[in-house]
């Protein structure tokens, strides 16, 4: 009997998960079907329960339901709890739900595996203090950078986020502040703010990046984002958008559900060409 999975969101037509998971299943020879569910804005829980009752094995959750998913889960993984939002459910045979967040893993996997960038001992600048950055912190800690600075337009939010995760950082120097508080050059600059959605660029000081830096935008579009274009104009040697992150977070879901890690390179290439 074919195992069933789905993504739920509103809107849902733009979701790449059905194409991703179908490609992974074909590549790995897994008997599974993956669909898309348009969730009613006031009917997320009902949609999940209906899919679960029909025999569904797992779900991905996209906007605007990630916070509701956090509340619905019976159990949370450490990274899911830290993120404060859930993008993946494992629907267990006993009727309980395990919630996880694979977005931060996807970013780290894309940077270290696909882009070949080691983060151990690096200075990392995170732009933004919302859910995307929050979900990145624990996976980033695992890579053991020397220093992480969180910068946000509302400085207090970045300061609070750094303080909240301070106990998890270990020997990593972790701090937060406003854009005016950014000091010195960084090896890796990750844009997790909403600026690329408005074709804007965070106000970064001169000297924050150079030809040896990596500028990584969590957002992705058909054309390079404003952040990527600004980095290239400043002479940054390596730039990337978040398409690889999307594929890698999906591959992590597939691995957790099916026990096989697919080869993401051909899937990333196919999406990029499309």
pLDDT at 98: 98
Let me know whether 253 and 236 are in one domain: no
pTM of the model: 0.93
Average pLDDT of span 63-87: 95
The answer to whether the annotation marks 130 as part of a ligand binding site is: yes
Q: Give the model confidence (pLDDT) of 39-65 as tens digits.
A: 999 999 999 999 999 999 999 999 999
* Residue 249 labeled ligand binder: yes
Domains in the chain: how many in total? 2
82 and 31 within one domain? yes
- Same domain as 248, residue 231: no
- Determine the structural domain holding residue 256 and report its residue range: 3-101+244-273
Cα separation of 56 and 88, whole Å?
Answer: 13
Look-up of token digits 């509340």: 71
Q: Is 242 labelled a binding residue?
A: yes
Question: Judging by DSSP bridges, how do beta strands 58-61 and 173-177 pair with one another?
Answer: unpaired
User: What is the arithmetic mean of pLDDT over 92-102?
Assistant: 97
Q: Is 152 annotated as a binding residue?
A: yes
Scanning the structure block, which residue is given the tokens 């919302």?
130
Mean pLDDT, rounded, of the chain = 95
Are both 135 and 233 inside the same structural domain?
yes
Tell me the C-alpha distance between 218 and 135, whole Å.
12
Structure-token pair, residue 162 = 């750094």
CA separation (Å) from 21 to 31, 63, 167?
11, 18, 36
Residues 188 and 226 grouped into a single domain: yes
Retrieve residue 62's tokens.
């996209």
Q: Are residues 66 and 149 in the same domain?
A: no
Say how far apart CA 5 and CA 87 lie, in whole Å: 13
Q: Is residue 66 annotated as a catalytic residue, yes or no?
A: yes
Answer whether residue 146 shows pLDDT above 90: yes
CA 177 to CA 257: how far, in whole Å? 38
Residue 155 marked ligand-binding: yes
The catalytic position among 66, 120, 173, 222 is 66
């Amino acid at each position: 009997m074919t195992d069933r999975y789905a993504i739920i969101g509103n809107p849902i037509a733009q979701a790449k998960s059905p194409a991703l998971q179908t490609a992974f299943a074909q590549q790995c020879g897994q008997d599974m079907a993956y669909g898309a569910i348009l969730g009613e804005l006031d009917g997320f829980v009902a949609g999940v329960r209906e899919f679960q009752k029909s025999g569904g094995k797992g779900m991905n959750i996209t906007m605007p339901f990630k916070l509701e998913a956090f509340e619905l889960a019976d159990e949370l993984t450490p990274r899911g709890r830290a993120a404060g939002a859930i993008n993946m459910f494992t629907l267990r045979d006993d009727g309980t739900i395990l919630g996880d967040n694979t977005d931060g893993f996807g970013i780290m996997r894309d940077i270290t595996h696909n882009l070949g960038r080691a983060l151990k001992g690096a200075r990392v600048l995170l732009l933004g203090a919302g859910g995307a950055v929050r979900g990145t912190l624990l996976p980033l800690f695992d890579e053991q950078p020397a220093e992480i600075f969180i910068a946000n337009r509302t400085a207090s939010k970045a300061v609070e986020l750094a303080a909240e995760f301070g106990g998890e950082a270990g020997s990593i120097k972790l701090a937060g502040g406003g854009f005016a508080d950014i000091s010195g050059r960084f090896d890796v600059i990750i844009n997790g703010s909403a600026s690329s959605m408005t074709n804007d660029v965070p106000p970064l000081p001169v000297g924050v990046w150079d030809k040896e830096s990596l500028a990584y935008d969590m957002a992705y579009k058909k054309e390079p984002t404003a952040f990527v274009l600004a980095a290239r104009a400043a002479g940054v040697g390596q730039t990337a958008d978040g398409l690889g992150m999307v594929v890698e977070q999906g591959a992590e879901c597939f691995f957790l559900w099916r026990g096989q890690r697919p080869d993401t390179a051909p899937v990333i290439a196919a999406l990029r060409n499309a």
